[in-house]
């Protein structure tokens, strides 16, 4: 099963980080976040990726074109330029790098991949969010309910620390919670049937608006609840948190731990679950 990663946005809220490179190429621990996302899927056995490129997409293509050389030891015959491979630490991934337009919206990018995806179910996620999602459990849930689409519902990361005060304004506790306690939002990590293309209409289509709204109205959208770790990289603060987790050796998105997630029918208002900033 192919995994589509939407990697064409500008990521303007990351400021100078994305002035010269696309958001999915911003690095965490010396690797693009795009690589981290692929590693999540690869750890569950999914290694056929379709990257929907857009803004500065040539940099994504350059990166993957050089991965094999950088991850391999080899002998070069300077006379004829031939190489003899000694060893390689390159992962066994197949990566499609497809230009889907500079200004194309998320649904439009997916529509442009229709011929690549053929008439088969596929996975889809954003190029800026990581989590310890049990991808195999997600797929099993999707196959069991028989609907057209599954979205992974996650708890939004808390932006501020929670204070508990006494009557004299003394802080009795401070809790910098990694996740909010209430509400579910769209965390990406979709599984979609090919009939999804009937809900898409050109480059200006935003997947998170009319297509998912219509799917919910048609009772064809299900939610896989993921109560575990999930973190987008929308701002510098988000990037710093991910970098800190990596530096401390506690990057939960690369752990293959079952999350105990379940699923329920979802028919939300767009602001509750579907809209990604």
Superfamily of domain 2-273 in CATH is Spore Coat Polysaccharide Biosynthesis Protein SpsA; Chain A (3.90.550.10)
Indicate yes or no: pTM above 0.75.
yes
Residue 266 scores a pLDDT above 60: no
* CA pair distance 177, 179, nearest whole angstrom: 5
Q: What per-residue confidence (pLDDT) applies to 255?
A: 67
Q: What is the pLDDT of residues 211-237, one digit of tens each?
A: 999 999 999 999 999 999 999 998 888
Q: What is the pLDDT of residues 54-73, one digit of tens each?
A: 999 999 999 999 998 888 99
Q: What per-residue confidence (pLDDT) applies to 264?
A: 36
Nearest in space to 263 (alpha carbons), one of 137, 171, 170: 137
Q: What per-residue confidence (pLDDT) applies to 178?
A: 57
Contact 273, 184 (CB under 8 A): yes
Average pLDDT over residues 239-258: 83
Strands (E), the chain: 2-7, 27-28, 31-32, 48-53, 72-76, 83-88, 94-99, 122-126, 129-131, 149-154, 162-165, 171-175, 185-186, 190-192, 221-226, 230-232, 263-265
For the chain, give every domain's residue range.
Answer: 2-273
**162 pLDDT band (50/70/90 cuts)?**
low
Q: What per-residue confidence (pLDDT) applies to 171?
A: 61
Q: What per-residue confidence (pLDDT) applies to 276?
A: 43
Residue 107 scores a pLDDT above 70: yes
Q: What is the DSSP letter of 151?
A: E
Which pair of tokens denotes residue 126? 């954003």
Contact 122, 3 (CB under 8 A): yes
Number of helices (H), then strands (E), in the chain: 8, 17
């Amino acid at each position: 099963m192919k995994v589509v990663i939407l990697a064409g946005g500008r990521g303007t809220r990351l400021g100078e980080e994305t002035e010269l490179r696309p958001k999915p190429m911003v690095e965490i621990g010396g690797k693009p976040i795009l690589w981290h996302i692929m590693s999540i899927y690869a750890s569950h056995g999914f290694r056929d990726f379709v990257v929907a490129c857009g803004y500065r997409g040539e940099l994504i293509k350059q990166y993957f074109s050089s991965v094999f050389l950088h991850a391999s030891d080899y002998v070069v015959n300077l006379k004829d330029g031939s190489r003899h491979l000694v060893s390689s630490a390159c992962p066994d991934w197949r990566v499609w790098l497809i230009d889907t337009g500079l200004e194309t919206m998320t649904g439009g990018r997916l529509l442009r991949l229709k011929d690549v995806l053929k008439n088969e179910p596929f996975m889809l996620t954003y190029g800026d969010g990581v989590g310890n999602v049990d991808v195999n459990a997600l797929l099993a849930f999707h196959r069991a309910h028989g609907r057209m689409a599954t979205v992974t519902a996650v708890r939004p990361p808390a932006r501020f620390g929670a204070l508990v005060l006494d009557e004299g304004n003394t802080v009795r506790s401070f809790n910098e919670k990694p996740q909010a306690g209430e509400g579910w939002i769209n965390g990406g990590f979709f599984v979609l049937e090919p009939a999804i293309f009937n809900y898409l209409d050109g480059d200006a289509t935003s997947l998170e608006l009319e297509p998912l709204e219509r799917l919910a109205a048609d009772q064809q959208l299900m939610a896989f609840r993921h109560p575990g770790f999930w973190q987008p990289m929308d701002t510098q603060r988000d990037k710093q948190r991910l970098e800190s987790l990596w530096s401390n050796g506690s990057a939960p998105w690369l752990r293959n731990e079952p999350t105990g997630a379940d699923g329920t029918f979802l028919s939300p208002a767009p602001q509750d679950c579907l809209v990604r900033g």
